[in-house]
Every structure is written in C-alpha cells, then in structure tokens.
RNA sequence: GGAGAGGUCGCGUAGUCUGGCCUAGCGCGCACGCCUGGAGAGCGUGUUUCCCGCAAGGGAACGAGGGUUCGAAUCCCUCCCUCUCCGCCA
C-alpha cells in the first residue's frame, strides 16, 4: 500500500507510475476525492464528540435535575448526529481503503520503462547451453518413461493440472528442497516452517488480497486461505511487530507448497509440470532497514543465482520492466533457466524489493537505534527456486541419449548416492 | 467437543461487582538529569500508537466487532485467542 501522504503531495508521481505500469491512473483521483470527503466528516464528527465529552462530564457533576435533563436531551441529539457522521465516515473510509489497496507500488526509478514482458531487459547469460548430439526430449516424455512423473494419477485423484511424482522423481524433488534450504542457511538465512493456510489479514499484508482473490483457494468453513507462496506467511510472521534496529536485517528461508487457481492462465502451459495448481517452492525473505534494501536485493539475486550455478544449469538474469513488474514490487530480477526439451527459458526465480509496500500493509516497523519515532522497514522476497521448473531443467539438461538422467553432483547426498536415474 | 480461568499503556499487575474523579494507578524495565573520582544505590523527570489540525488544541484505541447510555476498561451480545482439567485423535 502506498502512503496516503504521497498521493496527497505528489499525485502526479503516482499517476505516472500507474501509466508506466500500463494501468489506468483514475484511482489516484478517486483517492483524493474520498480523502477530502473523509476529512470533512472527521472534522465535524470530532468537534461534536469534543462537545459531547465535555457536556457529559458536566452532567456527571451536575446537581440541578432540570438542567441535567436538558443537557441529556441535547446530547442525545448530538449523539444521533455523531452516529450519522460516523456511518458516513465508515463508508468513505471503506471505499478509500478499497481503492488504495489495489494501487500497485511505485517502480524504482532504475526499473526500465517497458510495455510488457517482451521489454524486460536481459542483463547477462551465465553458462553455455549444452550442445546435444541427439534430439533432447521434453520432461513430459522423460519423466513418465523413467517412472518419475505420473500425469494420469494426478488427474485421477484430483483433476487437471495435478500430477504425481514417483520413485526417483519424488526423491529428486525432495533432494532439491533439502539441498536448497541448506544452501540458504549457509547464505545466512534462518529456516522457517510455517502454516500452509493463513487468515485473510495475512494475505492482505503480503499484498495478495484483495486484488488477487481469484487466484487463491479459500476454505469457507474455517475462513482460511491456502498460501500461494511462502512469501505470505513469512511476511505475516512480523505483522504488527516493532523491531529494534540492532535486530535487523532478518533473513528467512522456508519451503512450502504453493496453491494457485491459475484462473488467469487457463489453457496456458497445460502440458507437463510447468504450471500446476499445487507446486513446491523454497523462498527467501528479508526484513531490513530502508537504506539496506538495495544491497539486500543484490545479495538475494546472487543467492538465487548460486542455486542455478551449483546445479550446473545455464541461466540468464533479467530485469523486469515497468509493464511486467509485480503488484508490490519496486524492482525485480527474474532468473530463467534454459529448457532444451521445451526450447524455452523457464522462470525459476523472481527476486523483488518491495520497499515499504508490504510493511505498511502489515504494519511492520523498527525503532531506530538513536531513538525517536518508529519507521516502516523494507521487505524483499525471492524464490530460492520453484521446484517443478527446476525439476524440468534438471531432467532436460541432464538427459542422456539412452533416456537416463545424470543426477547433479550437489544433490547426490540426498539421493542415496545415486548418480544416474535409469528406466 | 465439554467445564473453568483469563486477555488492560515494553513486561508484571490494579481497576470491572457499585458506569462519570480511569488513557488508565503501582512495580519492573528503559531514557535523560541530579548526586559520584567512576559505578551502584538514592532522588527527580520522562517513557503507547494512530488520526484531524498551520497552530492552539481535539478525536480514537483497555483482544476484535456490535449493543445499551448524556457518558463504557467497567453493563449486554457475538466472535477470536491463551491457560488448566476432561474427552477424542495422527
């Protein structure tokens, strides 16, 4: 959420930022209009409340029955008017909050201008794509042939866009998860295991609600929501908290499954395991002082890159342009690995600096060491790689002509020393 | 799921029966000052957050949300959470 003061004082900056994101700037004027109305109601209501408070005290002290009764009558009317105003105020604030809640973050000035994903900027390529002396197969051929992926069983027990990992497939994914968590711990992160279901307020704090409600699974009976990413519970860990400056930064990593309805991408990527309703992901998350967040973004990008590099996967780093930037982000790097079977780059990690966008929504602050008022801190999030796509990349990049898969060295300790997966 | 006890200004508590003098006392902690060679003790002062306002000042919050009332931490209702015991269960 943006600071309401920013909209009051620099509405043009916010309008421009919406335009840069290829969005309509009209909400800015709605906010200004509602904010003006809000202040009118507040001023009248507070004046009347001040009057009621002081007269009520007089009533408490008054000995004169007639005078007392007169004041009670008068205050009853004042009370009615206050109720009216409070109700009008409540409605205006609800509308204001509603509009403000769906305005995206202001892009960092260093985020390149661009219309859509085609204008994202490739910063560099790392590693050489492997040269095959045979036709590399896509994972949807490799996986079932090796008994690693079973698409039919996923559909049978749940439905489309669900799959079952089996034998070495299940074990390879578990190896990736365990290895990544350990890597992130070495990189300075503290591992967290969180609930996979959260309440609405937690989703609001991370910026998922109200705007992305359609993408979320919701249990109506208990009013709990399945997490679409570990970013949500990790943000929520410190809702309403005030940190001492000395205890920052906080670096967390967590593995969770992620649940997404994918209504927006119905019909896209339906084949294989690239886009499912349930997928596993290891996430990195940082709470830090505002002046540290630039450096933390670079650290997190480096940490994510190390994951790809250590797996021996060729990858490239992109910087998202304004038109493709996520809702809460000020600046984002995507890391993509090459998929020789699908013949495309797969986004396995997205690393973002959200500035104070989430911390304002979730009310997460810190107290400066020199004392004084508490300040909002900055948050960053990044995938320590999404599993299905990483699994795709490993299968397709490490495939041999005979259909077997070489297990990347770093994963072997979690694979019981297995070096090659064969049919 | 049943029974009971609770949720108050960082922490611990008082206040709730008997509504107004309670945004709220006390202790601890913390900050600053005095004192001291220095420290401690002691003494003094201060110590929540948000909102409206140029300011003076004002409003709001005692788990959350409703209600009663001129007036609610205090009375009523709903919900949430914590603890104890019982039941059930991986």
pLDDT, residue A143, reads 97
- CA A371 to C1' B31 (Å) is 9
Which pLDDT score, from 0 to 100, does residue A158 have?
94
Which nucleotide has the shortest C1'-to-CA distance from A38? B52
A142-146 long-range contacts, CB within 8 A, separation 24+: A142/A341, A142/A395, A142/A396, A142/A399, A142/A403, A142/A405, A143/A169, A143/A273, A143/A395, A145/A403, A145/A423, A146/A403, A146/A404, A146/A405, A146/A421, A146/A422, A146/A423
| Interatomic distance A101 CA / B77 C1' (Å) | 32
Provide the pLDDT for residue A246. 83
pLDDT, residue A269, reads 80
Using DSSP's 3-state secondary structure scheme, residue A149 falls into: strand
Q: Which pLDDT score is estimated for A385?
A: 87
Query: Residue A78, CA: closest nucleotide via C1'?
Result: B70
Name residue A381's beta-bridge partners.
Answer: A285, A352
Output the distance from A371 CA to B36 C1' rounded to whole Å: 27
pLDDT tens for residues A92-102? Answer: 999 999 999 99
> What is the arrangement of strands in the sheet containing A375-376, beginning at the earlier edge strand?
A242-244, A365-367, A375-376
CB A301 within 8 A of CB A381: no
Question: According to the model, what pLDDT value does residue A370 have?
Answer: 76
Pair of tokens at residue A256? 């969770």
Low-confidence stretches of chain A (pLDDT < 70) are: none
Angstrom distance, A370 CA to B34 C1': 23
Q: Which residues touch strand B (CB under 7 A)?
A: A 4, 39, 42-43, 45-47, 49-50, 52-57, 59-60, 71-72, 75-76, 79, 371, 373-374
Could you give the domains of chain A?
Answer: 4-100 (1.10.287.40), 117-421 (3.30.930.10)
What ipTM is given for this predicted complex? 0.86
Nearest nucleotide to A72 (CA to C1') is B70
Residue A35 CA to nucleotide B58 C1', Å? 20
Q: The pTM is what?
A: 0.94
Calculate the angstrom distance between C1' of B36 and CA of A368. Answer: 31
Task: State how far the Cα of A350 lies from the Cα of A365, in Å rounded to an integer.
Answer: 25
Those nucleotides of strand B lying less than 7 Å from any protein Cβ are 20, 31, 49-53, 57-60, 69-71
């Amino acid at each position: 959420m943006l600071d309401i003061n920013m909209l009051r004082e620099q509405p043009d900056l916010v309008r421009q930022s919406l335009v840069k994101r290829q969005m309509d700037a009209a909400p800015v004027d709605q906010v200004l209009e509602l904010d003006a109305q809000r202040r009118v109601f507040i001023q009248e209501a507070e004046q009347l409340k001040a009057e009621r408070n002081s007269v009520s005290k007089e009533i408490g002290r008054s000995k004169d029955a007639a005078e007392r009764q007169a004041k009670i009558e008068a205050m009853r009317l004042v009370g009615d008017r206050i109720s009216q105003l409070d109700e009008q105020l409540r409605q205006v604030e609800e509308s204001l909050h509603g509009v403000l809640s769906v305005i995206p973050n202001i892009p960092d000035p260093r985020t390149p201008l661009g219309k859509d994903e085609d204008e994202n900027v490739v910063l560099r390529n790392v590693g050489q794509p492997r040269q095959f002396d045979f036709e590399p197969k896509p994972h949807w051929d490799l996986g079932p042939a090796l008994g690693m992926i079973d698409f039919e069983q996923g559909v049978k027990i749940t439905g489309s866009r669900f799959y079952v990992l089996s034998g070495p497939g299940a074990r390879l994914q578990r190896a990736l998860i365990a290895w990544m968590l350990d890597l992130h711990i070495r990189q300075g992160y503290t591992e967290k295991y969180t609930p996979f279901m959260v309440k609405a307020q937690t989703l609001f704090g991370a910026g998922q609600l109200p705007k992305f409600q359609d993408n979320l699974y919701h249990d109506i009976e208990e009013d709990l929501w399945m997490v679409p990413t570990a970013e949500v519970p990790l943000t929520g860990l410190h809702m309403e908290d005030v940190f001492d400056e000395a205890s920052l930064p906080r670096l967390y990593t967590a593995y969770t499954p992620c649940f997404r309805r994918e209504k927006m991408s119905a019909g896209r990527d339906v084949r294989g395991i690239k886009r499912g309703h349930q997928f596993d992901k290891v996430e990195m998350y940082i709470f830090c002082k505002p002046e540290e967040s630039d450096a933390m973004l670079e650290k997190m990008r480096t940490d994510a890159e190390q994951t790809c590099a250590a797996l021996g996967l060729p990858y490239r780093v992109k910087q998202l342009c304004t038109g493709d930037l996520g809702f809460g982000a000020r600046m984002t790097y995507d890391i993509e690995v090459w998929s020789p079977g699908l013949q495309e780059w797969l986004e396995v990690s997205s690393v973002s600096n959200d500035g104070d966008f989430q911390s304002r929504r979730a009310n997460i602050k810190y107290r400066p060491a020199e004392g004084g008022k508490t300040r909002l801190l900055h948050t960053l999030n990044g995938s320590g790689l999404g599993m299905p796509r990483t699994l795709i990349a490993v299968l397709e990049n490490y495939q041999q002509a005979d259909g077997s898969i070489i297990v990347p060295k770093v994963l072997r300790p979690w694979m019981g020393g297995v070096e090659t997966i064969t049919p």
